[in-house]
Amino acid sequence: YIYLAAQVLDDDVRLAPGTVAWQQDFLGFVLNGEMSSRSAMNRGDEWYLESLAFNITPGGPHVPSTTYYEDRPGFVGEYRCQIVAGGYAFEGRIPISYLNEKQGGNWESARLNFMVQDWDTDEEDKPRYFWQPDWRGNENQVGSGMFWR
């Protein structure tokens, strides 16, 4: 498995049960398992259609997590996102078979990015923070977020 984890510091976790993930606080990740020559150049076309993309809101005792993208064909993985003191925590795992299938055998590399949306007001503006530059944006850097075996 590829294990993913993140601790998000947020003094005001805002959730809106019954609405889509991107209208609340959420964590997202994108994992591209293509060969490095393609993965490094990937720009997330068609909302990361060629990648494993996933958004999840934190859940609590009375509020379940909301997810997005897990209904795409080929989605694999297990995950959990919970409200904790001072914010929320995410843990997930993706079978190595995802990378092996994308690379036609024994995987060599993967490209990963995380994003957090922090909605602290009732306004429409919901700032997003990326671990690496947004692959779809003008600040994308070739190969950012690459991991090698």
pLDDT tens digits, 27-43: 999 999 999 999 998 88
Query: Is 149 a member of any domain?
Result: no
Q: Tell me what pLDDT residue 113 has.
A: 95
Query: Is 16 a member of any domain?
Result: yes
Query: Is 146 a member of any domain?
Result: no
Q: Is-contact 87 10, C-beta < 8 A?
A: yes
Query: Is 114 a member of any domain?
Result: yes
Q: Which domain holds residue 118?
A: 2-135
Query: Is 141 a member of any domain?
Result: no
Q: For residue 61, what is the domain's CATH number?
A: 2.60.40
Query: Is 96 a member of any domain?
Result: yes
Query: Is 145 a member of any domain?
Result: no
Q: Tell me what pLDDT residue 46 has.
A: 66
Which of 88, 86, 106 lies closest to 97 in space, CA to CA? Answer: 106
Total domains present in the chain: 1
Percent of the chain whose pLDDT exceeds 70: 95
